[in-house]
A and B are shown apart, each in its own frame.
Chain A
Amino acid sequence: MPSSLLKPLSLLLRQPPPPLSGHDHPNTSMNDHFLRLPDECLALIFQPLNTKERNTCSIVCRRWFTVERQTRHTLSLNAVAGLRDSAPAILSRFDSVTKLTLHFNRSCHFDGIGDDGIAVIALHCPILAELELRHCYLVTDAGLRAIPRHCTKLRRVSLHSCTFGAHGINSIIQGCTLLEELSISKFSRFSDAINGSKSLRTVSLRYIHGGRALLPLISQSPALQSLRIINCSGSWDKHLEEASVRANGLIDVLLEAIDVSDRALRALSAQVSLETLWLADTHRCTDEGVTAVVERCKKLKEIGIRKLRKVGEKSLVAIARRCVNLKLLALARVSLTGRSLILVAENCYSLESLLINGGKRIGDAEMVCVISKCSGLRWLFIRGCPISDVLVEAIAQGCPRLEKLEIRKCPGVTLMKVEELRERRRGIAIDYVGIEEKDEEKDGGVQGRNEEENLQRIRASKLRLGFLAIWSCIVFVLRKLFNK
Chain B
Amino acid sequence: MVGVKKKMVTLVSSDGVEFVVEKRVAEQSLFIKNALNEGGVEEKVMIPIPKVTSDTLSSVLEYCEKHASATEFQENEIEEWDKEYIEKADLDLLYYLLQASYSMSIMGLMELGAKKVASLIRGKSPQEIRELFNIKNDFTPEQEEEIRREMQWNYE
Q: Which residues of A contact B (CB under 8 A)?
A: 1, 5-6, 8-9, 12, 18, 23-25, 28-35, 37-38, 40-41, 44-49, 51-53, 55-62, 64-65, 75-79, 83, 86, 89-90, 93, 101, 103, 105, 403, 426-427, 429
Contact A86 B136 (CB under 8 A): no
Contact A41 B114 (CB under 8 A): yes
Contact B138 A45 (CB under 8 A): no
Contact B99 A37 (CB under 8 A): yes
- Complex: chain B residue closest to A427, CB-CB: B74
Residues of A within 8 A of B133 (CB): 31-32, 34-35
B117 to chain A, nearest CB (A): 5
Q: How far is the CA of A56 from the CA of B95 in the complex (A)?
A: 21
Q: How far is the CA of A43 from the CA of B64 in the complex (A)?
A: 23
Chain B: interface size category? 35 or more
- Complex: chain B residue closest to A404, CB-CB: B76
B31 to chain A, nearest CB (A): 14
Contact A30 B146 (CB under 8 A): no
Contact A55 B154 (CB under 8 A): yes
B20 to chain A, nearest CB (A): 28
Query: What are 18 A-B interface contacts by the 8 Å CB criterion?
Result: A18-B138, A25-B136, A30-B91, A31-B95, A32-B135, A40-B102, A45-B114, A45-B117, A49-B122, A51-B154, A52-B154, A52-B156, A53-B118, A53-B121, A57-B126, A58-B147, A61-B135, A61-B136
Known A-B contacts A45-B114, A60-B129, A77-B153; A31 and B136 likewise in contact (beta carbons under 8 Å): no
Q: Does B44 count as interface, using CB distance less than 8 angstroms?
A: no
Q: How far is the CA of A55 from the CA of B126 in the complex (A)?
A: 9
Contact A59 B135 (CB under 8 A): no
Contact B110 A103 (CB under 8 A): no
A102 to chain B, nearest CB (A): 8
Q: Name the one of A8, A33, A38 contacting B142, with C-beta atoms under 8 angstroms.
A: A8
Contact B142 A46 (CB under 8 A): no
- Complex: chain B residue closest to A28, CB-CB: B134
A380 to chain B, nearest CB (A): 15
Q: How far is the CA of A427 from the CA of B95 in the complex (A)?
A: 31
Q: How far is the CA of A298 from the CA of B138 in the complex (A)?
A: 63
Residue from A28, A56, A60 having most chain B Cβ neighbours under 10 A: A60
Residues of A within 8 A of B113 (CB): 41
Q: How far is the CA of A24 from the CA of B136 in the complex (A)?
A: 9
Q: Does B132 count as interface, using CB distance less than 8 angstroms?
A: yes
Q: Which of B68-103 contact A (CB under 8 A)?
A: 74-77, 80, 91-92, 95, 98-99, 102
Contact A34 B95 (CB under 8 A): yes
Q: Does B62 count as interface, using CB distance less than 8 angstroms?
A: no
| A-contact bits for B113-156, CB 8 A (1 contact / 0 none) | 11101100111111001101111111110111111111111111
Residues of B within 8 A of A47 (CB): 114, 118
Contact B130 A33 (CB under 8 A): no
- Complex: chain B residue closest to A76, CB-CB: B155
Q: Does B22 count as interface, using CB distance less than 8 angstroms?
A: no
Residues of A within 8 A of B145 (CB): 5
Contact B124 A56 (CB under 8 A): yes
Known A-B contacts A44-B111, A53-B121, A77-B155; A60 and B137 likewise in contact (beta carbons under 8 Å): yes
Contact B115 A8 (CB under 8 A): no
Q: How far is the CA of A452 from the CA of B54 in the complex (A)?
A: 58
- Complex: chain B residue closest to A89, CB-CB: B150
A103 to chain B, nearest CB (A): 4
A233 to chain B, nearest CB (A): 30
- Complex: chain A residue closest to B92, CB-CB: A30
Q: Which of B29-88 contact A (CB under 8 A)?
A: 74-77, 80
Known A-B contacts A8-B142, A30-B92, A427-B74; A101 and B150 likewise in contact (beta carbons under 8 Å): no
Known A-B contacts A41-B98, A90-B150; A56 and B91 likewise in contact (beta carbons under 8 Å): no
Q: A31-B132, A49-B122 are in contact. List 19 more A-B contacts (CB 8 A).
A: A8-B140, A8-B146, A37-B98, A37-B99, A37-B102, A38-B99, A40-B102, A41-B113, A47-B118, A56-B121, A56-B124, A58-B147, A59-B126, A60-B126, A61-B130, A64-B135, A65-B147, A77-B154, A93-B150
Residues of A within 8 A of B98 (CB): 37, 41
Residue from B123, B124, B147 having most chain A Cβ neighbours under 10 A: B147
Residues of B within 8 A of A59 (CB): 126, 139, 144, 147-148
